Amino acid sequence: MLSSQIGKKLAKIATCKILFDKQALDLYSVDASSYVVRPSAIAFPKNEKDIIKIVKFASRHKISVTPRGAGTGLVGGDLGTGIILDMRHFDKIKIGRGFVQTGSGLSKGELDDTLRKHGRFFGPNPSIGPFCTVGGMIGTNASGSHSLKYGSTIDNLLQVRIVTSKGNIVTLPKKDNTTKKILRVMKLQSQKQFPCVSKNSCGYRIDKVTAHSNVQKIMAGSEGTLGIITSAKLKTLLLPKQNVLIIIAYKTLKDAVIDVPEILKLGPSAVEIIDHNIIQHIVYKIPNGTKCLLFVEFDNRISKKRIKVQQISSGKIILSTTKYSQISQWWTYRNSALSYSLKSISKQEIVSSIIEDATVPVHRLPLLLDLVKYLTSQYPMRVIIYGHAGNGNLHIRPILKKKDERLIKKIALEFFSAVISIGGTITGEHGDGLARSGFVKLQYGSDTYSVFKKVKQFFDPANTLNPGKKVIL
Ligand SMILES: Cc1cc2nc3c(=O)[nH]c(=O)nc-3n(C[C@H](O)[C@H](O)[C@H](O)COP(=O)(O)OP(=O)(O)OC[C@H]3O[C@@H](n4cnc5c(N)ncnc54)[C@H](O)[C@@H]3O)c2cc1C
């Protein structure tokens, strides 16, 4: 079917709002990545029946269906040429004991506000803050500064409800034949192919699916390719009574990352890093010659730990605070790192969306920085670095002149091969999407990649759901 006919035909059979005017198609052609992909129609389902109708129509006519949350993803995972499912109406929320049941379109802001009223919170906290959705966090296996202590979305996902590409409703985990079949496919892979890192959003996380009780985890990081998530049960935690935030200034990034493994022994809730490109946007008296700041936060036994950090750190502590207003101001600086870095890019330059989320075992961070130094000596590029140092997850953003754009793929291949060889993953939290799906095989090798294909074929035999992401069939 011609793409221009899809909207009209869909509008005839659908039971929800469908848009296919130029303005809507332009709007949904982009997300927070640099990719542009024009869809054919956008649907706004209000319930599972609406989704079932749409996926059945799409399968029948071989049209792709791509679920979308808030469009804050950084790898183009929510862009597609067929039908985009805007999940905004799936926004119910119900608090339980130690968990919350939410619709997949619920915003993180609504989730946080509701949980706060009950003295609770959801561990993973992407720097985008309130704007992303539950479905998008599950779709990318998102994490954030506090994932150091509280894990990524995959570690906090208790249950999911999905609409499959055949239009069935499945709740996972469930002890039934479907789960048995899923487990049988998972068992084909070797755990050895999975990097030993605390965060990983590359490929399908079949390493976390080991029994009936955790089969729901296959949906974390699946980027809408295995099913449309309609609701989820998420683990919640008691809000800490008090936090302390310690800001440490260093003369080099390497000095800072060398300190990280020792700091981790104290059990911080966050250890984050920013380089001089970001520091220049901070309004605070920062010592001359500072090239890097480490943000170290604790949320228990804070006085004792504050003293210990002083003893361990080779940098200069420039702030140690328990004041809520000061702590949130500094987290605003840290969470603005991406927008600060984009400000420093001139019109003649481009920033790579392929390299930006590598994660290595924490003690190998100095090696990762050596690798970056080597690449900047070999290629005409500069880099901006910030991220989740405590997880070994650095957002290294290479910036090149537009005329050198063709080098990006070559640099990425060299960079990713080295990251993998030091036991890392090419993406710790943002996922594969259009940026990195072509590198998933490099990460895991042919055998595991062929298991990923079997996973995809099991859930979505007709390749209707977000094709071209995660695995390329
Ligand atoms: C400034 C900035 C800072 C960021 N900081 C972080 C960070 O610290 N940590 C982090 O992990 N990420 C970060 N991100 C990336 C992004 O915000 C997260 O990945 C977020 O979870 C995406 O949510 P979303 O609702 O916008 O999803 P979208 O971008 O709309 O979608 C993301 C993926 O999930 C899939 N998806 C969405 N809804 C569903 C559903 N209902 N069922 C199945 N699949 C679905 C989509 O198809 C897509 O593949 C940042 C982004 C920006 C712009």
Render 315-367 in DSSP notation, one character per residue: SEEEEEE--HHHHHHHHHHHHTHHHHHHHT--TTEEE-SSSS--B--GGGHHH
Q: Are residues 332 and 428 in the same domain?
A: no
Predicted local confidence at residue 397, as pLDDT: 96
The number of beta carbons lying within 10 Å of the beta carbon of residue 453 is 16
Is residue 176 over pLDDT 90?
no
Mutate to test the pocket of ligand 1, among 46, 65, 68 (most ligand atoms within 8 A of CB): 68
> CA–CA separation, 399 vs 25, rounded Å?
30
Would you say residue 472 lies in a domain? Answer: no
Residue 470 identity? K
Closest CA to 301 of 344, 337, 268: 268
Under DSSP, the state recorded for 265 is T
Q: Whose CA is nearest to atom 44 of ligand 1?
A: 224
Predicted local confidence at residue 2, as pLDDT: 80
Q: How far is the CA of 230 from the centre of ligand 1 (A)?
A: 15
State mean pLDDT over 188-216: 91
Residue 31 alpha carbon, nearest atom of ligand 1: 29
Confidence of residue 207 (pLDDT cuts 50, 70, 90): very high
Q: Are residues 265 and 394 in the same domain?
A: no
The last residue of a domain, from among 52, 67, 86? 86
Is residue 232 over pLDDT 80?
yes
- Distance set, CA 108 to CA 91, 112, 151, 172 (Å): 11, 6, 16, 22
Q: How far is the CA of 384 from the centre of ligand 1 (A)?
A: 22
Would you say residue 464 lies in a domain? Answer: no
Q: What is the token pair recorded at 254?
A: 């390497």
> CA–CA separation, 408 vs 72, rounded Å?
23
Q: Are residues 56 and 114 in the same domain?
A: no
Residue 226 alpha carbon, nearest atom of ligand 1: 43
Provide CB contacts within 8 A for 270, sequence distance 6+: 145, 146, 148, 149, 295, 296, 297, 388, 390
Q: What is the CATH number of the domain that holds 162?
A: 3.30.465.10
The last residue of a domain, from among 318, 342, 366? 342
3-state secondary structure 57-123: HHHHHCCCEEEECCCCCCCCCCCCCCEEEECCCCCCEEECCCEEEEECCCEHHHHHHHHHHCCEECC
Q: Are residues 396 and 310 in the same domain?
A: no
Residue 229 alpha carbon, nearest atom of ligand 1: 42
Residue 388 alpha carbon, nearest atom of ligand 1: 8
Whether the CB-CB separation of 319 and 245 falls below 8 Å is answered with yes
Mutate to test the pocket of ligand 1, among 75, 78, 335 (most ligand atoms within 8 A of CB): 78
Q: Are residues 233 and 98 in the same domain?
A: yes
Residue 87 alpha carbon, nearest atom of ligand 1: 41
Predicted local confidence at residue 143, as pLDDT: 98
Q: Are residues 186 and 258 in the same domain?
A: no
Residue 341 identity? S
Q: How far is the CA of 222 from the centre of ligand 1 (A)?
A: 11
The last residue of a domain, from among 47, 64, 86? 86
Residue 338 alpha carbon, nearest atom of ligand 1: 1
Backbone angles phi, psi at 27, to 5 degrees: -60, -40
Q: How far is the CA of 425 from the centre of ligand 1 (A)?
A: 18
Residue-range definition of the domain harbouring residue 308: 244-342
The number of beta carbons lying within 10 Å of the beta carbon of residue 422 is 16
Q: What is the CATH number of the domain that holds 44?
A: 3.30.43.10
Would you say residue 471 lies in a domain? Answer: no
Provide the b/e sequence for 277-313 (b: ≥16 CB within 10 Å).
bbbeebeeebeeebbbbbbbbbbeebeebbebbeebb
Would you say residue 271 lies in a domain? Answer: yes
Is residue 251 over pLDDT 80?
yes
Q: Are residues 209 and 111 in the same domain?
A: yes
Q: What is the pLDDT of residues 15-39, one digit of tens each?
A: 999 999 999 999 999 999 999 999 9
- Distance set, CA 341 to CA 275, 382, 397 (Å): 10, 12, 9
The enclosing H or E element of 427 equals none
Closest CA to 428 of 198, 243, 269: 198
Closest CA to 44 of 95, 89, 101: 89
In degrees, rounded to 5, the angle at the alpha carbon of residue 418 between the alpha carbons of residues 415 and 421 is 150
Whether the CB-CB separation of 73 and 46 falls below 8 Å is answered with no
State mean pLDDT over 41-64: 97
Predicted local confidence at residue 3, as pLDDT: 83
Task: Name residues contacting ligand 1 (CB within 6 A).
Answer: 31-32, 66-74, 77-78, 87, 104, 126-128, 132-133, 135-137, 139-140, 142-144, 223-224, 228-229, 338, 429-430, 466
Whether the CB-CB separation of 334 and 274 falls below 8 Å is answered with yes
Residue found under tokens 């020792």: 262
Q: How far is the CA of 190 from the centre of ligand 1 (A)?
A: 28
- Distance set, CA 365 to CA 53, 179, 370, 371, 419 (Å): 49, 38, 9, 10, 10
Is residue 192 over pLDDT 90?
no
Would you say residue 24 lies in a domain? Answer: yes
Q: Are residues 124 and 172 in the same domain?
A: yes
Q: Are residues 203 and 250 in the same domain?
A: no
Is residue 190 over pLDDT 90?
no
Q: How far is the CA of 140 from the centre of ligand 1 (A)?
A: 6
In degrees, rounded to 5, the angle at the alpha carbon of residue 147 between the alpha carbons of residues 423 and 89 is 115
State mean pLDDT over 428-457: 96
Q: What is the domain count for the chain?
A: 4
Would you say residue 466 lies in a domain? Answer: no
Q: Are residues 233 and 261 in the same domain?
A: no
- How crowded is the C-beta side of 269, counted as CA atoms within 13 Å? 19
Residue 67 alpha carbon, nearest atom of ligand 1: 47
Q: What is the pLDDT of residues 70-114, one digit of tens each?
A: 999 999 999 999 999 999 999 999 999 999 999 999 999 999 999
Q: How far is the CA of 224 from the centre of ligand 1 (A)?
A: 11
Q: What is the CATH number of the domain that holds 252?
A: 3.30.70.2190
State mean pLDDT over 273-294: 96
Q: How far is the CA of 87 from the centre of ligand 1 (A)?
A: 13
Q: What is the pLDDT of residues 298-308, one digit of tens each?
A: 999 899 999 99
Q: Whose CA is nearest to atom 23 of ligand 1?
A: 136
Q: Are residues 201 and 254 in the same domain?
A: no
Q: Are residues 99 and 227 in the same domain?
A: yes
Dmax over CA atoms of the chain, in Å, equals 69
Confidence of residue 181 (pLDDT cuts 50, 70, 90): confident
Would you say residue 468 lies in a domain? Answer: no
Mutate to test the pocket of ligand 1, among 127, 172, 456 (most ligand atoms within 8 A of CB): 127
pTM of the full structure: 0.97
Cis peptide before 173, with omega less than 30 degrees from 0? yes
Would you say residue 156 lies in a domain? Answer: yes
Residue 162 alpha carbon, nearest atom of ligand 1: 42
